[in-house]
Amino acid sequence: MPVQFDPGPAVTELVRRTEHLIQDVVLPIELAHQGSAHDASEDVRRQLQDAAREAKVFAPHVDTEFGGLGLDMRDRAPVFEAAGYSLFGPLALNCAAPDEGNMHLLEKIATSQQKERFLRPLAAGDVRSCFAMTEPVPGAGSDPSALATTAQRTSAGWLLNGRKWFITGAHNAGFAIVMARTSGEPGSRGGATMFLVDAGAPGFQHVRNIDTLDESMFGGHSELALDNIEVGHDAILGELDRGFEYAQVRLGPARTTHCMRWLGTARRAADLAAERAATRQAFGGRLGDLGMVQQLLADNEIDIEASRTLILKTCWDLDTGAPAGHITSITKTFVAEAVNRVVDRALQICGALGVSGDAALSRLYREVRPFRIYDGPSETHRWSIGRRIVRRALTRLEARP
Amino acid sequence: MPVQFDPGPAVTELVRRTEHLIQDVVLPIELAHQGSAHDASEDVRRQLQDAAREAKVFAPHVDTEFGGLGLDMRDRAPVFEAAGYSLFGPLALNCAAPDEGNMHLLEKIATSQQKERFLRPLAAGDVRSCFAMTEPVPGAGSDPSALATTAQRTSAGWLLNGRKWFITGAHNAGFAIVMARTSGEPGSRGGATMFLVDAGAPGFQHVRNIDTLDESMFGGHSELALDNIEVGHDAILGELDRGFEYAQVRLGPARTTHCMRWLGTARRAADLAAERAATRQAFGGRLGDLGMVQQLLADNEIDIEASRTLILKTCWDLDTGAPAGHITSITKTFVAEAVNRVVDRALQICGALGVSGDAALSRLYREVRPFRIYDGPSETHRWSIGRRIVRRALTRLEARP
Amino acid sequence: MPVQFDPGPAVTELVRRTEHLIQDVVLPIELAHQGSAHDASEDVRRQLQDAAREAKVFAPHVDTEFGGLGLDMRDRAPVFEAAGYSLFGPLALNCAAPDEGNMHLLEKIATSQQKERFLRPLAAGDVRSCFAMTEPVPGAGSDPSALATTAQRTSAGWLLNGRKWFITGAHNAGFAIVMARTSGEPGSRGGATMFLVDAGAPGFQHVRNIDTLDESMFGGHSELALDNIEVGHDAILGELDRGFEYAQVRLGPARTTHCMRWLGTARRAADLAAERAATRQAFGGRLGDLGMVQQLLADNEIDIEASRTLILKTCWDLDTGAPAGHITSITKTFVAEAVNRVVDRALQICGALGVSGDAALSRLYREVRPFRIYDGPSETHRWSIGRRIVRRALTRLEARP
Amino acid sequence: MPVQFDPGPAVTELVRRTEHLIQDVVLPIELAHQGSAHDASEDVRRQLQDAAREAKVFAPHVDTEFGGLGLDMRDRAPVFEAAGYSLFGPLALNCAAPDEGNMHLLEKIATSQQKERFLRPLAAGDVRSCFAMTEPVPGAGSDPSALATTAQRTSAGWLLNGRKWFITGAHNAGFAIVMARTSGEPGSRGGATMFLVDAGAPGFQHVRNIDTLDESMFGGHSELALDNIEVGHDAILGELDRGFEYAQVRLGPARTTHCMRWLGTARRAADLAAERAATRQAFGGRLGDLGMVQQLLADNEIDIEASRTLILKTCWDLDTGAPAGHITSITKTFVAEAVNRVVDRALQICGALGVSGDAALSRLYREVRPFRIYDGPSETHRWSIGRRIVRRALTRLEARP
């Protein structure tokens, strides 16, 4: 069986349905809110998700046992890209971050009871969730070993204390997956454990919505205070002290699905610019007939095509269980930067219109920038890629006669 | 007298006073408004300008006859850069766009009466102004020959009709310099004329503030309708049909002073990032000890230093009356792109903090982007630079034996 | 059948054998000639090809009927990449340009007699060939419609006249595929026809070897004079006046196999740099522990991985008969530039050693540069990509209600 | 006295004379040798220098006491740029590396006797010299503290032992300035001392000319063995143990004069490309009318202009005694990379002609590449720039109330 790129008719049809949903339902709603979730209520989310259910494209990544379509990573790629064409598309399909990554993690690690209690309503769109790992300075950020939030053993279970920061989707989330230190000290790696915490638990405080460049994520990015939250042993997700390891289980696919969604955004920006170039007159001709504009358009296409194929290769590795830390770092770094380049070029082609709110580009420009930072800044990924290359070179050299 | 870069003690002292004003007065006010002029009233402008007057740094570019400090372009450069360190700094010194460029144009071209009526109050900070050239599609944009606004001769003077778009500072401006076609057709170059129009004139309509990525300019960017505005012959600025030529008189220096101000912004971003790198701990050391961070910091410094020297060279050419169209295009293109690179790297160094409103960087990131489009997109400048190079090469080849 | 990237065990084994051949036989010979074919005789070619035959990796792309392994494009990709690890590797496998592209073209278009006479000995490595399309100024280059070489009908067949330039492999080639104008005028597209011309034909003159930056191609790049060469009707390859069309048949796959081979070269450069970084001490540590070096290494890996996946996608399209002009342009442009970036970074990491002949990098640096020009400069590809994007945007807009 | 960029009539006239010399005498000789000094004899050097003497542009940087024109750094800038227009131009003016830097060092530090013995014949062009600092791995390279060559005290003076590598101009040089360790161990900084060593001294062995990408430097780049060379105390240049410090005295200006010369090379490449763009027809028009070509031309002009102004600023700092380590690193890094970009774009514009030896570009492409490595690779400079920025940020933060 040779290399092949055709996702097959079923997925192709799913993509087509998603594209129609985005064009007919999601984009109009997004544009009405200027791409910002700030003033978009839960009603908007329900409206979007109802439409996705009706179009039979809801929860494509979720196991059929929990009401989803059960797609593997490779099949998700074109569907998520189609969803990402609108900033609100992933929410409509219930495959937006951080919920999508949390569903993945729960599918992999949660007990049956935990799945019933947390995964089922999440997969159904009844609640949203958040993933509470990042902390304010000097806590866990790019360097997870700085984790400062603690879980102390009590007679009845565990007592959580700490402060979390930039927790996406936390506002009005139903529950959180909280990463807390169960051994070692900040700075040492030690042991971290994940806890499932109901957002209504006493001591779970939503401190504030952080004002950010991007505004399209439902629930925003929040600062949380965890103040003597009591949880039972059944709140532990997976096993004690394996939190850092599970974070990788979550992050590899989560980074890749991020890439899929943002690639859709990049494609939209490229389409807007191409349409502008095809119709706007300038200097006695069509804007799109000018060489420098053709170059911007071509570079967008190159970036998009390279991103798409890299994503598929990464999905293949993830689906087949190949070690994927290296390739997910490569793909995340490339795609995050490519997406930013594409949107930047698209905005440039559209000129003053591009920086105005009259086109969507100024919004897209704001939304994609943080992706070069979220889920590991490019520098952190390059550092880990670089270190692996050096290790491999040493292995190679040692193997030589 | 050899090449020399020292601006002398008087300008150095002026820069020092400006820096103090920015740190002590302007930045706190800017931060209180999160860098947006949207909700900043005229009172804020007065407060800022009073402080600048007190610091004796007000209107540094204006002829002493009209109350300014009479600096030439070279001496403006470090002062404007110091002012640009805050988004509200140029407003404080009354050297913000578009007023500063308008003052320059009026000094050069206006009659004595026009100067008394329009320049004096503008230079004093009593009113703001705007420059109404750009038009909505398919009118004048990067390609000025598309000018569609018309001025028709009447018995009493002229009748102006048209629509203007992206007119910076138009909201609550006291008057506008309106570019209108007085001969030829859109698409032909023909003749354009500049008219001085009171904002209170019947038919001068402020249609809307355009929502834009940038928000720091007082008066924003507006759409205007010019609906049968009657003006007298004395409204003509300079001579009939020489508007396109005057636009170049305005644009060469105006582009260069833009560069000065935005260079200040870039320096601030670089400083914020350097301070973060100097203090933030990560991976068992200081962020600023990591090679990739040092590279970002170094590239910022390189971009800033190259921008500053290019600006000075351009000022020298403008001050000495050398043909400056080529060098102003070169400098505008380089500096606009360099400033964007610097702010982008600074934001990257600051990570999640950088995309949040907790630091100023996410605001700066939004503010600098349009500079690659305003005052001629980079592509238009590269086109005109490229054409000149080809012409010069032809001349060189023809001169060869 | 979902997307999949595994080439299967047979191809994997073929790659392994190729890698061994390259390490054990080809690289030592290449290094002995410092990567230059200038002083490498036909004996060297025979020695290399004999070793490849023995390793059972000879002519992997050729139909089994003509003694090859019959691999489709997807399966060629990893084999050609492995061959390209040495500058002499493609020659060893008899899959170097221009022979490999010529074999492809002959397989597709030649008559049975032509195949026996030209393809069989070429596939067997008995002769080399060349593809004579490009002409000196003002003839056919990036713009094929400028074709100036003519074929005039005679009673007995055709009379060829013209001058060709940069004809790779022409020196000591056994035959040439000559592109000549059979209708229309230079500047008009008109009709071109391909002729199979024996290098010994009267009037076929090898004018000179052109001195070029690259030196690793056997037969170099030559200037040819075609002076009243008489050929029969059976010299026509395919049909009359369809030469431009056949050139595309040749170029799509030929560009892509170029990418495969040069990707191997890039990987070698990256490996050399990684090994240097892993072992060289500097500033009290290992070179490869410095952040800026890690970044160079990581960017190499990203470029290589993106190139490889883009190539596979292009192969898939070519193998399945999808319209591939767009994707081959995208891939050629990206890979040519990526390969140059990789070699440049590798050389930088190796410092003075890199610019010396003591490492292979200075040779590789010279060899890869022309790939951004040969087979269509990046600008020509971007122009054609850009035009297609504009056309598609127009189609999309017209289809909208 | 305000900022000013006019070098004055005397220097302008000197530049004009240099340009004529380059066009009329130097370029023809360079082209006859295809830009390579490999087969250029000492006669060629004499011929070039005689012409420069006749044109009264010889040794512009040398003190008048030693027969030069006594230009300061600012005045050298345009003259050296004009000389660098040809690869052999700096040799003609006797301002090529490494002689020019050695003259500077001798002027600053040598005793009167040393000046008479070494500087005077060097300045007169009677001999060439070299600067023997760099060593093969694991010795002194980017990291000077690894210095392994030793000078041991004897009763009569010093005994030098070690191995040097990449010593520019060493072949047939009259003398060498040798850096040797006089205290401390490799890896520690310790103390280094500079020794003036006659190339005829017993034990001074020229091991080989290193084959390198660049070939235009007279005397090439050599490997030297220093085998028990005996020198007296009068061989010490400056004071004992201050060698590292003197290396900086040499390197600041030497890096900057490198920038001047290579800028001339870049300008020549840009001119060649512009002339090609102005005359070559393609796609029914002039090559230089295509937008992507205009962009390449414009970016060349931007890089050249920014390089030139940065160089002047650096000269100003050096001439006025301002601390110049930071600015020389900034300028060296920017100019080295800009020069490479310019030559690369020029070659791309010229297409196949550019990679052939029929134009000079393929030679220039090879010559400029090492400049990003010689005199400190870009990474080392960025590292030192970055560290200074962090230190300054800390100082700033500590000064805040």
CATH number of the domain at C237, please.
2.40.110.10
Please check whether residue B242 is in contact with residue B337, taking contact to mean a CB–CB distance below 8 angstroms.
Answer: no
Dist. CA A194–CA A245, nearest whole Å: 10
Scanning every residue of chain B, which has its alpha carbon at the shortest distance from the alpha carbon of A276? B137
Within this chain, do residues A395 and A252 fall inside the same structural domain, yes or no? yes
Is residue C72 scored above 70 in pLDDT?
yes
Scanning every residue of chain B, which has its alpha carbon at the shortest distance from the alpha carbon of A137? B280
Q: Under an 8 A CB cutoff, do A293 and C383 touch?
A: no
Which of C74, C301, C310 is facing A330, going by the closest CB pair?
A: C301
Within this chain, do residues A306 and A219 fall inside the same structural domain, yes or no? no
Residues ≥6 apart with Cβ < 8 Å to D202 = D229, D230
Residue carrying structure tokens 């022309």:
C370
Per-residue pLDDT tens digits for D159-215: 999 999 999 999 999 999 999 999 988 877 779 999 999 999 999 999 999 999 999
Within this chain, do residues C228 and C257 fall inside the same structural domain, yes or no? no
- A288/chain D closest Cα distance in angstroms: 11
Q: State the CB neighbour count (10 A cutoff) for residue A186.
A: 17
Within this chain, do residues B373 and B229 fall inside the same structural domain, yes or no? no
Within this chain, do residues D40 and D85 fall inside the same structural domain, yes or no? yes
pLDDT band at residue A1, thresholds of 50, 70 and 90? low
Strand, coil or helix: C207: strand
- B254/chain A closest Cα distance in angstroms: 18
Within this chain, do residues B212 and B356 fall inside the same structural domain, yes or no? no
- B293/chain D closest Cα distance in angstroms: 8
Dist. CA D280–CA D289, nearest whole Å: 10
Scanning every residue of chain A, which has its alpha carbon at the shortest distance from the alpha carbon of B285? A187
Calculate the CA dihedral of residues D202, D204, D209, D215 and round it to 10 degrees: -110
Scanning every residue of chain B, which has its alpha carbon at the shortest distance from the alpha carbon of C298? B292
* Cβ-Cβ contacts under 8 Å, C213 against chain D: 355-356, 362, 365-366
First to last CA, chain D: 36
Within this chain, do residues D364 and D265 fall inside the same structural domain, yes or no? yes
- D236/chain C closest Cα distance in angstroms: 28
Q: Which pLDDT does position B1 carry in this prediction?
A: 67
Domain count, chain C: 3
Q: Which pLDDT does position B186 carry in this prediction?
A: 82
Over range B146-162, report the average pLDDT: 95
* Cβ-Cβ contacts under 8 Å, B318 against chain D: none
Scanning every residue of chain D, which has its alpha carbon at the shortest distance from the alpha carbon of A288? D291
Per-residue pLDDT tens digits for B325-352: 999 999 999 999 999 999 999 999 999 9
Residues ≥6 apart with Cβ < 8 Å to C23 = none
Q: Under an 8 A CB cutoff, do C397 and A279 touch?
A: yes
Dist. CA A287–CA A274, nearest whole Å: 10
* Cβ-Cβ contacts under 8 Å, D352 against chain C: 134, 141, 165-166, 370, 373-374
Which of B211, B365, B379 is facing A213, going by the closest CB pair?
A: B365
Burial class (CB in 10 A: 0-12, 13-18, 19+), C86: buried
Identify how many contiguous H helices and E strands chain A contains and give both numbers: 13, 10
- Chain D: list its partners (3+ Cβ pairs within 8 Å): A, B, C
Q: State the CB neighbour count (10 A cutoff) for residue C198.
A: 16
Q: Which of D175, D206, D240 is the last residue of a domain?
A: D240
Q: Under an 8 A CB cutoff, do B333 and D298 touch?
A: yes
Flag whether B110 is in a domain.
no
Q: Under an 8 A CB cutoff, do C212 and D356 touch?
A: yes
Please check whether residue D146 is in contact with residue D139, taking contact to mean a CB–CB distance below 8 angstroms.
Answer: yes
Q: State the CB neighbour count (10 A cutoff) for residue A42.
A: 11
Is the bond leading into C98 cis (omega within 30 degrees of zero)? yes
* Cβ-Cβ contacts under 8 Å, D292 against chain A: 291-292, 294-295
Over range C293-312, report the average pLDDT: 98
Per-residue pLDDT tens digits for D117-138: 999 999 999 999 999 999 998 8
Please check whether residue C168 is in contact with residue C205, taking contact to mean a CB–CB distance below 8 angstroms.
Answer: no
- Chain B: list its partners (3+ Cβ pairs within 8 Å): A, C, D
| Interface residue ranges in chain D relative to chain A, Cβ cutoff 8 Å | 290-295
Flag whether B217 is in a domain.
yes
Q: Which pLDDT does position D64 carry in this prediction?
A: 97
Over range A186-210, report the average pLDDT: 93
Within this chain, do residues C381 and C267 fall inside the same structural domain, yes or no? yes
* Cβ-Cβ contacts under 8 Å, B295 against chain C: 291-292, 295
Measuring CA to CA, how many Å separate B200 from each of A96, B100, B133, B206, B229? 51, 21, 18, 10, 10
Q: Under an 8 A CB cutoff, do B365 and A370 touch?
A: no
Residues ≥6 apart with Cβ < 8 Å to C185 = none
Q: Which pLDDT does position C284 carry in this prediction?
A: 80
* Domain assignment of residue B268, given as a range: 245-399
Which of B187, B284, B356 is facing A211, going by the closest CB pair?
A: B356
Is residue C184 scored above 90 in pLDDT?
no
Over range C229-253, report the average pLDDT: 94
* Cβ-Cβ contacts under 8 Å, B295 against chain D: 379, 382, 386
Strand, coil or helix: C224: strand
Flag whether C117 is in a domain.
no
Per-residue pLDDT tens digits for D268-309: 999 999 999 999 988 788 999 999 999 999 999 999 999 999
Q: Under an 8 A CB cutoff, do C356 and D383 touch?
A: no
Q: Where residue A393 sits, what CATH number does that domain have?
A: 1.20.140.10
Within this chain, do residues D133 and D231 fall inside the same structural domain, yes or no? yes
Select the more confidently predicted residue: C1 or D68. D68
Paired tokens of A391: 């290790």
Which of C1, C75, C297 is facing A389, going by the closest CB pair?
A: C297
Q: Which pLDDT does position A144 carry in this prediction?
A: 84
Select the more confidently predicted residue: C123 or C189. C123
What percent of chain C stands above pLDDT 90? 89
Scanning every residue of chain A, which has its alpha carbon at the shortest distance from the alpha carbon of D298? A292
Q: Which pLDDT does position A3 carry in this prediction?
A: 86
Substitution target in D290, D292, D297, D379 with the highest count of A β-carbons within 10 Å is D292
Dist. CA D162–CA D226, nearest whole Å: 5
Which of D283, D348, D355 is facing C212, going by the closest CB pair?
A: D355
- B395/chain C closest Cα distance in angstroms: 22
Is residue A370 scored above 90 in pLDDT?
yes
Q: Which DSSP category does A210 fall into?
A: P
Please check whether residue C310 is in contact with residue A305, taking contact to mean a CB–CB distance below 8 angstroms.
Answer: yes
Within this chain, do residues C74 and C174 fall inside the same structural domain, yes or no? no
Dist. CA C390–CA A372, nearest whole Å: 29
Q: Where residue C30 sits, what CATH number does that domain have?
A: 1.10.540.10
Per-residue pLDDT tens digits for B65-116: 999 999 999 999 999 999 999 999 999 999 999 999 999 999 999 999 999 9
Flag whether D111 is in a domain.
no
* Cβ-Cβ contacts under 8 Å, D350 against chain B: none
Which of D74, D289, D305 is facing B3, going by the closest CB pair?
A: D74
Q: Under an 8 A CB cutoff, do B382 and D278 touch?
A: no
Scanning every residue of chain B, which has its alpha carbon at the shortest distance from the alpha carbon of A386? B292
Q: Which pLDDT does position A282 carry in this prediction?
A: 80
Which of C4, C8, C301 is facing A389, going by the closest CB pair?
A: C301
Nearest alpha-carbon partner for A85 in A8, A15, A168, A12: A15
Within this chain, do residues A262 and A306 fall inside the same structural domain, yes or no? yes
Scanning every residue of chain C, which has its alpha carbon at the shortest distance from the alpha carbon of B287? C291
Q: Which of B225, B241, B257 is the last residue of a domain?
A: B241
Q: Which DSSP category does A5 fall into?
A: -
Is residue C188 scored above 80 in pLDDT?
no
Measuring CA to CA, how many Å separate C261 from each of A172, C51, C85, C89, C90? 54, 19, 7, 9, 7
Flag whether B365 is in a domain.
yes
Flag whether B119 is in a domain.
no
pLDDT band at residue D1, thresholds of 50, 70 and 90? low
What percent of chain D stands above pLDDT 90? 89
Scanning every residue of chain A, which has its alpha carbon at the shortest distance from the alpha carbon of C328? A302
Beta partners for residue C48, in sequence order:
none
Per-residue pLDDT tens digits for C217-232: 999 999 999 999 999 9
Q: Under an 8 A CB cutoff, do A362 and B212 touch?
A: yes
Q: Under an 8 A CB cutoff, do D389 and B301 touch?
A: yes
Q: Under an 8 A CB cutoff, do D378 and C351 touch?
A: no
Per-residue pLDDT tens digits for A24-46: 999 999 999 999 999 888 899 99
Q: Which pLDDT does position D208 carry in this prediction?
A: 96
Count of all residues that appear for chain A in the document = 401
Q: Under an 8 A CB cutoff, do C292 and B294 touch?
A: yes
Is residue C1 scored above 70 in pLDDT?
no
Q: Under an 8 A CB cutoff, do A280 and B366 touch?
A: no
CB pairs under 8 A between A and D: 17
- B364/chain C closest Cα distance in angstroms: 27
Strand, coil or helix: B118: helix
- Chain C: list its partners (3+ Cβ pairs within 8 Å): A, B, D
Measuring CA to CA, how many Å separate D18 from each of B249, C241, D48? 36, 56, 12
Per-residue pLDDT tens digits for C323-354: 999 999 999 999 999 999 999 999 999 999 99
Flag whether B101 is in a domain.
no
Is residue C200 scored above 90 in pLDDT?
yes
Q: Which of B241, B276, B291 is the last residue of a domain?
A: B241
Please check whether residue A287 is in contact with residue A349, taking contact to mean a CB–CB distance below 8 angstroms.
Answer: yes
Q: State the CB neighbour count (10 A cutoff) for residue D210.
A: 20
Substitution target in C292, C299, C348 with the highest count of B β-carbons within 10 Å is C292
Within this chain, do residues A206 and A159 fall inside the same structural domain, yes or no? yes
- C292/chain B closest Cα distance in angstroms: 5
Which of A2, A270, A397 is facing C7, going by the closest CB pair?
A: A2
ipTM of the predicted structure?
0.96
pLDDT band at residue D60, thresholds of 50, 70 and 90? very high
Per-residue pLDDT tens digits for A301-310: 999 999 999 9
Residues ≥6 apart with Cβ < 8 Å to B245 = none
First to last CA, chain B: 36
Please check whether residue B229 is in contact with residue B204, taking contact to mean a CB–CB distance below 8 angstroms.
Answer: yes
What percent of chain A stands above pLDDT 90? 89
Dist. CA B380–CA A342, nearest whole Å: 20
Flag whether B109 is in a domain.
no
Dist. CA D395–CA D117, nearest whole Å: 47
What percent of chain B stands above pLDDT 70? 100
What percent of chain D stands above pLDDT 70? 100
Tell me what the pLDDT averaged over chain C comes to: 95
Q: Which helix (H) or strand (E) covers residue B196, if one does?
A: strand B191-198
* Cβ-Cβ contacts under 8 Å, D143 against chain C: 282-283
Count of all residues that appear for chain C in the document = 401
Residue carrying structure tokens 């390259």:
C22
